[in-house]
Structure 1
Amino acid sequence: MENPEQNAPLVLIVEDNPANMRLVCDLLHVHGFRILRAFNALEALKIIRHNPPDLILIDISLKGMDGLSLVKLLKTNPATKNIPIIALTAHAMKQTEEDAYAAGCQGFIVKPINTRSFPSQLREFLSGKHSK
């Protein structure tokens, strides 16, 4: 875990592509977020159990258990159901977005991410000011 400040928002990034993981981690680190990393759903579940994040970013096209299955699982657990989850995807189709919201995501961001607006988008989700 990287730790710019103890009270900075803790974000779990669940992404199986190393280049995408590196980009998101570097960007969030520069903007003062604390970061946890998971490369698959099972790893994410272990991390969440021991260190619940303030926000979760999930690639919906994970290998093994896909991202939307992970979201559904987290939203049925009383310990994790209130953690905001944002879907990250390269699939910009309306049905994919609808599926993400139906699974329980509070947000949907299409890759490649906009590096200028991405950190402020996450802060909006954390403050509860974001709307679909």
Structure 2
Amino acid sequence: MATGPLWRVGGSCVLGVEHIVGKVLVVEDNELNLKLFSDLLRVHGFAVEPVRDGREAVSRARVFEPDLVITDIQLPFLSGTDLIRALRADAKLKPVPVMAVTAYAGREDEERVRAAGANAYVTKPISLARFIDEVRALM
């Protein structure tokens, strides 16, 4: 049950927070992970725009104008790595930091994702504290 005011930022709602810390686009095809990331960010004062498909992430980002993009790497249709490249190729979105969240834990995987343009790399399963620390560091 909601206990605080509900604030609306664009199409996103933030429960019980009077000051929006920042806007985060979350791209994740796994429904449970998408809910976990979105709820965790909202509790910490972020407006969240959830996206389940990398194909729509760039167009949604142009409208939402996020301060940060968090993306899974294993996405259907358009991989997270390709999404990062597309964000970096877009003049409006190029400066937006990107945090990759992935089950890929190898050094080569991290190098490949960072080479595509990711600013941070977090492996699953995530530590909730580290996740929020990484988000704050990128804002």
The one of the two structures with greater contact order (alpha-carbon pairs below 8 A, sep at least 6) is 1
What stretches of structure 2 of length at least 5 have no aligned partner?
Answer: 1-11
Alignment match, 1:129: none
8 Å contact kept, 1:13–1:36: yes
Over 6 Å off, 4+ runs: none
> Would you say how many aligned residue pairs link Structure 1 and Structure 2?
126
2:54 is aligned with 1:41 = yes
2:94 corresponds to 1:81: yes
Task: Give the number of the structure whose alpha-carbon radius of gyration is greater.
Answer: 2
Unpaired runs of at least 5, structure 1: 127-132
Once the 2 structures are TM-superposed, how far is the Cα of residue 112 of structure 1 from its aligned partner?
1.0
Residues 5 and 61 from structure 1, CA distance in 2 versus in 1: closer, same or farther, beyond 3 angstroms? farther
- Report 1:1-132 matches (<5 A): 1-3=12-14, 4-5=17-18, 7-126=20-139
Q: TM-score, normalised by structure 1?
A: 0.90
The share of aligned pairs that are identical, in percent, is 35
- Residues 5 and 82 of structure 1: is their aligned pair in 2 closer, same or farther, counting only changes over 3 Å? farther
Which structure has more strand as a fraction of its residues?
Answer: 2
SS in structure 1 opposite 2:95? coil
| Normalised TM-score (structure 2) | 0.86
Helix, strand or coil at the partner of 1:116: helix
Is the 1:74–1:80 contact (alpha carbons within 8 Å) kept by the matching residues of 2? yes
